[in-house]
Amino acid sequence: MTAREYFEQTATSIAVLNRNELKSRIKNFKGRFKLDFSEGYLNKLSVERLRHILLAALVNARSHN
């Protein structure tokens, strides 16, 4: 799978997630780096911002594999 295909597939799968699913995936992110956000901070963010954080983490983690 090319980088572009991975990005498009990942972005599409994230686009359908609701707030709770996004927060759960961010808090349980397993990658070469840890995401460390408090529940309070995540609760203050918009759903679009949560999607952006998760997508950036997944794409960044993928680019180093």
**How far is residue 48's CA from residue 13's CA, in Å, rounded to a whole number?**
14
Give CA separation, 65 vs 2, 15, 20, 54, 58, in Å.
Answer: 13, 24, 28, 17, 11
**How far is residue 26's CA from residue 57's CA, in Å, rounded to a whole number?**
9
pLDDT of residue 31: 86
On average, the pLDDT of the chain sits at: 92
Which pTM was predicted?
Answer: 0.87
User: How many independent structural domains does the chain possess?
Assistant: 1
What is the domain extent for residue 14?
A: 3-63
- In tens, the pLDDT along 6-48 reads 889 999 999 999 999 999 999 999 988 899 999 999 999 999 9
Say if residue 1's pLDDT is above 80: no
